[in-house]
Amino acid sequence: MNVNGKTLQVCYEDHIAALLKQLGIPADYGIVRQLELQEECVSAVSIGMDIFDREQQLIPLAARAWLEMKAAAEHDGIELQIVSAFRAVDYQAGIIRRKLEAGLCMDEILKASAAPGYSEHHSGRALDITSPGFEALEDIFEDSPAFKWLEKSALQFDFYLSYPRNNPHMVAYEPWHWCWHKPL
């Protein structure tokens, strides 16, 4: 599809390049960190409320896999809770801006937050998970029965831990971040 002589993909790439420049993120961020540009989801469906009472969304196939995985965990006595799921590119840029305004340096920010355009959350396939009794988005989640269950069972639902320890992306270990990948 063309828009004023440019494909939508080129427009998206231009938007990402402009955001990176505006935020002071190097243009080669994705190459250096071995991260692929993530297309922004356009057809998300509700997967329910997160722990903050905000509606969350995933693409339909990932949503179905999440609901099946959540039900299987519940059957095994494990409660999986959503912290966040789909996140728009501009929302991701806002996260970076708020961290900069709080005085954090870009290197520290990019260890914990992907640059706009490179977050798996944009794709509508990723979600951050917690469980009762464990603070959200903290490494201590790896000690939870929920994490142990995910390590053993998430693959059955095509969910993968995106950022294990010592990952090649220079992203901090995130035991809570799981992404659905379409089976081949």
83-139 confidence digits (pLDDT tens): 999 999 999 999 999 999 999 999 999 999 999 999 999 999 999 999 999 999 999
If phi > 0 it is left, if psi is from -120 to 50 it is alpha, else beta; for residue 149 that is alpha
Give 161's DSSP letter: E
List, for residues 137-149, the tens digit of each pLDDT value: 999 999 999 999 9
Picking from 85, 87, 97, the residue whose alpha carbon sits closest to that of residue 20 is 97
Number of domains composing the chain? 1
| Residue 1 scores a pLDDT above 50 | no
Q: Quote the CA–CA distance of 149 and 30 in Å, as a whole number.
A: 31
> What tens digit of pLDDT does each residue of 22-77 get?
999 999 999 999 999 999 999 999 999 999 999 999 999 999 999 999 999 999 99
- Euclidean distance between the first and final Cα of the chain, in Å? 26
Task: Judge whether 82 and 129 are in contact, CB under 8 Å.
Answer: yes
What does the pLDDT average to over 3-7? 48
Range with the poorest average pLDDT among 3-17, 38-52, 148-162: 3-17
List, in sequence order, every beta strand (DSSP E) within the chain: 2-3, 6-7, 45-49, 55-58, 81-84, 126-130, 159-161, 177-180
pLDDT of 3 strictly over 70: no
DSSP 3-state of 42: coil
CATH number, domain containing residue 136? 3.30.1380.10
Mean pLDDT of 170-181: 97
In this prediction the pTM is 0.91
Task: Name the residue range of residue 89's domain.
Answer: 2-180
Phi-psi group of 166: left, alpha or beta (phi > 0 → left; psi -120 to 50 → alpha; rest → beta): left
DSSP, collapsed to helix, strand or coil, labels residue 178 as strand
Over 80: is that where the pLDDT of 2 sits? no
